[in-house]
Amino acid sequence: MKNNVKVARVHVDLTQQQLAEKVGVTRQTISLIEKGKYNPTLKLCLAICYAVNQSLDEIFWVDQEGLLDEKSKG
C-alpha cells in the first residue's frame, strides 16, 4: 500500500506524533502506514486528508497495476 502520507505530512510541517494526535491514532499507526505496511481504513484515510488539506486521490490513489504489483511481488 504505497501512498503519499509522509510527503504530505512534512509539507504541512507535522511530526508523526502531531499527525497521529490530529487524526486520533497512535504514532505507531502513522509510521506503519507511511511505510506501506498497513492497509488503512477509509475513515483514517479521510482523517489524514483533512489533516494535511489534500484529497483522497492525491494521497492514496494507486492505479490498478500498482496494486497488482503488490500482490505478485511476494
Give 72's contacts (C-beta < 8 A, 6+ positions apart).
Answer: none
Name the DSSP letter for residue 24: T
Q: Which residue in the block uniquely carries the three cell numbers 511476494?
A: 74
Rule CB under 8 A: say whether 40 interacts with its own copies. yes
Task: Report the partner that residue 27 touches, choosing among its own copies, DNA, none (CB closer than 5 to 8 A by kind).
Answer: DNA
Rule CB under 7 A: say whether 25 interacts with DNA. yes
Rule CB under 7 A: say whether 2 interacts with DNA. no
Q: Which residues bind DNA (CB under 7 A)?
A: 10, 15-17, 24-29, 31, 33-35, 38-41, 43-44
